[in-house]
Amino acid sequence: MKKNKRINSGARFLSLIFILLFSVLTGKFFFVTYTGSAEGVDLIEYGKQKWIKSDILSAKRGNIYDRSGEPLAQDIPAYTVIAILKKDYPVHVKDPEEAAKKLAPILDTDKENLETLLKKDNVFQVEIPAGRNISHSKKEKIEALKIAGISFDRGSKRYYPNQDFASHVIGFTGVNDAHERTGLMGLEKSLEKHLGEKDGRITFMGDRYSNELPDSKEKIVPPKNGLDIHLTLDEKIQMYLDQAMSQADKKYKPKRIVGIVADPKTGKILAMSSRPSFNPNKKDITNYTNYAISSAYEPGSTMKIFTLAAAIEEKVYNGNASFQSGSYKLPKISRPIYDHNRTGWGSITFDKGVENSSNVAFSILAREKLGYERLRSYLSKFGLDKETGIDLPKEASGKVLYNFEIEKVTTAFGQGTTVTPIQQIQAATAIANGGKMMKPYVIEKITDPKTGQIMEDHEPLIAGRPISEATAKQTRDILEKVVVNGTGRPYAIEGYSVAGKTGTAQVTDEKTGMYLHGWGENIFSFLGMVPKDNPRLLMYVAVDRPSIKYPEMGYTPVANIFTSVMKSSLQYLNIVPEEAKLAPKEKSLKEHGSALSSLIGENAEEAAGKLKNAGYQPVVLGDGSSVVSQEPYEGAKLLKGERVILFTGGTVKMPNLNGWSYMDILRLSSLLSLKETVTGSGFVSKQNIKKDSIVKKGDFLVVQLKPAGAPKDPADKSAEEGLKVTD
């Protein structure tokens, strides 16, 4: 009995323990069910972390294009190298030492550090720092190694196909403090709200390896791509400017160079460049300032353009009236104002004073003819005392120094008062555009890349009418004489009438505040427009303190840049030389030129025969049977012996360009969408693409020109051998 009692007592005790434990567990179960947490852990969130997976859906940053649709900044595919290290995963890095040995040379990284990374424990995978944003070609090299456990995350990186092309205008992108890609300079920064992208996300139920489970319900937040920006910049004109400035920078090593090319009819900026420059792909930056808009300095004699126009508008300018050049004495000021040669040219007319850039002439115009108040009002009318409002970041404004009489007089010829290059460009559009001053701008339109819808469309805007059409014409006529007879002779372009004004500005020492003295210690500049009677292009160039030695003149690098860029741009825009500027023999030939008819759609062989019989040189490109397009265009007047290029489509082989003219090269490039670089003058003597090589759209064609009859360099190889042309 006692034994049974003990058994029964034990059973009851165990039953009580069981009931107690069951009650605790049941209570815990209901508590967890009701609250969704256990020991402070949110089980719902824990489950999500374990089973709910998500991936980023990458968005694309907006592209930046030139005015013809050529990309200037774009996203291109890039890859990040991933190494899977989890040993129970089917494919993982099995031999870290061997993998590091193979990867290190390709990724240009330390083998030991990479091996340490690949031996890391308790992680599923690692991202290799040296393998971020690698190119497709590097990815292919790594794939060829066939290393188990090495894979790639596909992404994108910002790429600037033309390297240092308009770098201060376009800017660049980088990673901000929040580890997000964003614009850090130029238009990339100022247009971030338009260009910027926002990644999307996909959420799903997945296993421990992030493989999606069956019947998983996906939740997708779509990515938001950036908008595309279309600029007024012209890729070819910008390239002409960049190349000319780079050559001057290399040869003369100045403190800085600035160049702007604009369409004076609209205010569109066709090219803008500063030196020192940088490659936004490498971010090798030594200068963050866009000198074209952010740097104000004494302009020198280019300011005389606007003083002259003001005097003509107010009917106080008489070009035939005479004055005594050399020096001009102001009351109460001991030191006279001198002409740049100190002695002057004796008694000369005011027209001659403009041609010779006489400071005395403009002192008289300011003080005795116009008067200081009227001159000051025209500085405002020409917008020289305020920002232009150009759609670029960090525009500065100069300062009109106009407190004392000496400051009022020197402002008339460009000393004391400071202005920016873009202020001068805007003011000069009034001279070039019949009195209408156009606001400069670089953003043509903003579009949605998916739909093509125009989100913003920018139109030309008149910024003011400081002078009449008659005054603008008379000013251009006088400025043409500066180039024909005066200080602007180095800026003449054969076949075209150039109206413009030279400038030589003094530079102040940053430490002493005094003007620098010495050969070449100036800012040399030129502001010119072509053709004079109907300007299609307006250009400003300034070179700050070039390294020159006596007797070399400071204007030489400026003239080299202006004439080369302007001539190339005029020919590229098919602005033919003016009849009045042609030599008698050329004029006679021109008058007998015949209009070219359209050959599009005709059999290529028959069309070439027609051209040959008519006295032209036909060049047939492509492997098609009929003419798809032609250069020159229908209606163009040609002389006997000129080339006519017929394109039939399909595969194109490069012809032998030996003996071709500059215009022939431009026509070929236009027809085949090539990016040409031309050095020298005359006719083609070298070409970088070999004869009969396959040519594709966007290829770079580099040719060197030499005058007809020039002695041949014995070291030169033939053009057919495809020798690379160097500067």
Give catalytic residue positions: 301
Residue positions counted in the chain: 727
Give Dmax over CA atoms of the chain in angstroms: 151
- CA 703/CA 670 separation, integer angstroms: 15
- CA 725/CA 376 separation, integer angstroms: 52
208: CB partners within 8 A, 6+ apart: none
CA atoms within 13 A on the CB side of 393: 16
CA atoms within 13 A on the CB side of 605: 3
End-to-end CA distance of the chain: 119
Comparing CA positions, the residue from 390, 360, 383 lying closest to residue 260 is 390
Q: SS3 sequence, 160-171?
A: CCCCCCCHHHHC
DSSP secondary structure of 45-61: HHHHHHHEEEEEE---P
- CA 191/CA 151 separation, integer angstroms: 35
- CA 118/CA 124 separation, integer angstroms: 11
Tokens (6 digits) for 630 = 């032609």
Q: Which residues pair with 579 in a beta bridge?
A: none
Q: How far is CA 148 from CA 83, 86, 122, 139, 424, in A?
A: 9, 12, 18, 15, 63
Q: Which residues pair with 499 in a beta bridge?
A: 529
Tokens (6 digits) for 666 = 């431009």
**C-beta atoms surrounding 7 within 10 Å:** 10
Question: Could you give the residue ranges of the DSSP H alpha helices within 548-644?
Answer: 555-572, 584-591, 604-613
3-state secondary structure of 567: helix
Tokens (6 digits) for 667 = 């026509």
- CA 43/CA 33 separation, integer angstroms: 10
Tokens (6 digits) for 663 = 């215009």
- CA 712/CA 487 separation, integer angstroms: 36
- CA 320/CA 540 separation, integer angstroms: 29
Q: Which residue's entry shows tokens 């003080």? A: 367
Order of all β-strands in the sheet with 629-631: 617-621, 643-647, 629-631
Question: Could you give the residue ranges of the DSSP H alpha helices within 88-223?
Answer: 96-107, 111-118, 136-145, 167-170, 186-190, 192-195
328: CB partners within 8 A, 6+ apart: 336, 337, 359, 360, 363, 364
